Structure 1
Amino acid sequence: MSGFDKRVSSYEEALQGLEDGMTLLAGGFGLCGIPENLITEIKRKGTRDLTVVSNNCGVDGFGLGLLLEDRQIRKMIASYVGENALFEKQLLNGDLEVELTPQGNLAERLRAGGAGIPAFFTATGYGTPVAEGKEVRDFNGRPHILEPAITGDFAIVKGWKADTYGNVIYRHTARNFNPLAAMAAKVTVVEVEEIVEPGMLDPDAIHTPGIYVNRLICGTFEKRIEQRTVRS
């Protein structure tokens, strides 16, 4: 292995250093493009009191929903509750702190965090509970609220293909929040379906450059479908 080789040999090694109370950024949308094996390893580790930032919290019994079962998540920053009855129950019972953020704002907060921008103004959320306690400023006669950027201690990301240097390609809609999460954490861990040698990927096809990736592991995936509608 060279000093640029980002590969690790186990999921335990991939998440070494993830501790109780940390902020975890997780890629995925619904069950599409979720780092399912890394989530399972966090479940096994029993890491607790996590603040988790993700579009949603998986479903009951799969994805981030696994971490709700033993109350490993203290706070969830997400854009919607989704198909998760346990998430809904813990939210309504006050057992889980939840910060609901408009989906575009959540994406931009992560992107800003990765770009080193501490905050930004947006019109989205003005006049709603989202704006409570936030600075308001008018631009072109329209009120905007100040949204803070999001950064994390760890990011867990699902890619399609990568080279050993950690340059990552995502496939179709599985790209979703993964590139944003990958940029915004101190330690970014990516699991992929295939790892190739440097030079085998078209540089123009790279979505996440290896400079953002700290650890890389190859896994196999169940890839559940959250909702499927077919013609009769």
Structure 2
Amino acid sequence: MRRSILDPICSCFLARLIKGAFLLACILPLPASAHPADVTPLRILVERQQLELRFTFSLFTLARMMPLDKDQDHFLAPAELNAVKPALTQFLQKHVLIRINDHPTGLGTIARWEPLWPGSEPVDLRTADRSVDVFFTLPSAEVIANAWMEFTFFPQLGELASVQASYEQGTLVMQVPFTPHQPDYSYDTGFAVEDLFQKPAPASPPPTHSFWRLNLVNILIFVFIGGMVGLIFRKPRKGAPASTP
């Protein structure tokens, strides 16, 4: 079998090509993906005249919103966590925009605040990744037809941050992700449409006293007319003098 003089050159070139591809794969960064701490679950309980929001913020996310470890000892004490509640309320009121039935609605104050670990224990921020449930209640004076929401805090949280919202309305559950590229969503409840197709309530019968009052008037009129007719056509009694013409 004849061998070409180019065979060693081709083999050397192929080996160098494979080596270069391997080195390039090692140098290039892998595609970025979101860390679980970058994802904030949000449960939205939808009722006819009320919304209840429950954010589950990790301490990793809260630390991007505001300083948590004031004394820089890498431990988060219960007092330090409670101290950030007013600042967190102001931050969320500024960056969580809500409109109910196309009317701007304030987020209000925190209704409940529940750390998801024993509250008396300090948390080591270097090793533990804990979360806090934060509740808001938004009542509405009218039936909620639609609820629009937008998050403007993604520049503070980073490009990989997201809010994974779960709208729960009765037995209906719908997942909606909020991201830096899709920060808003409008949810239609359908309550207004249901009201249009509801059967009108049956008319209540008239009060019974009106019925008897009307009949009593008719009876009195009938008796009066009967009496007048009797007087006109009454026959003279026996023995009574005949009336002169």
Q: TM-score range by the shorter chain?
A: under 0.3
Radius of gyration: which is bigger? 2
TM-score, normalisation: structure 1: 0.22
Indicate the structure with greater helix content: 2
